[in-house]
Amino acid sequence: MATRTKAAHKIEEPREQIQSRPNSGDKDLLARMFAKHDVRETSYHLLAPRIDLHLCDDPGLGRSEMPQLANGGALQVTLVSMQADLFPYHKASNDRRHWRGYREAATPHSQWLSQALSTFCTTLLETLDPRPLTPSAK
């Protein structure tokens, strides 16, 4: 329960910090530098310039039972310039402008988020009750 309370506090914390910040017109250099480099929320980042993944299947009777791989096989996957960012306490509907390098897509995240949620709910309801909806007789 303490973890949930801490997470809820962290979710609300950035909003409170933004509201309590002094005006950006402050002449104080230290205040401007702090505001520029302030960590507004917990985040984790992975930057990988290149990842090479090699998958090999030895010839003969091995783990693979596929006839096409009787003589062995190999697969190489190369990922170039991979970046992953995780903001564990950020609500999906909140603003993202303070994220480093974030650019709003052609479709705003709030729009595709509501579309995805709507699609999920429709799929869930159809799975739970696959009968087609018909008007009820009064």
Domain for residue 15, yes or no? no
Domain-located, residue 138? no
- Domain-located, residue 132: no
Select the more confidently predicted residue: 11 or 138. 11
pTM over 0.75: no
Tokens read off for 128 = 């739970």
Residue 58 lies in a domain: yes
In a domain, 81, yes or no: yes
78 pLDDT band, cuts 50/70/90, is very high
pLDDT digits (tens, 9 = 90+) for 85-94: 888 888 877 8
54 falls within a domain: yes
The pLDDT assigned to 72 comes to 77
Q: Which one of 30-34, 44-48, 59-63 scores highest in mean pLDDT?
A: 44-48
Task: State how many domains the chain has.
Answer: 1
Domain that holds residue 56: 44-86
What would the 3-class secondary structure string for the chain be? Answer: CHHHHHHHHHHHHHHHHHHHCCCCCCCCHHHHHHHHHCCCCCCEEEEEEEEEEEEEECCCCCCCCCHHHCCCEEEEEEEEEEEEEECCCCCCCCCCCCCCCCCCCCCCHHHHHHHHHHHHHHHHHHHHCCCCCCCCCC
Q: Tell me which range, 2-6, 70-74, 119-123, is most confidently predicted by mean pLDDT.
A: 119-123
Residue 69 lies in a domain: yes
Q: Is residue 126 part of a domain?
A: no
10-24, 102-116, 118-132, range with the lowest pLDDT = 10-24
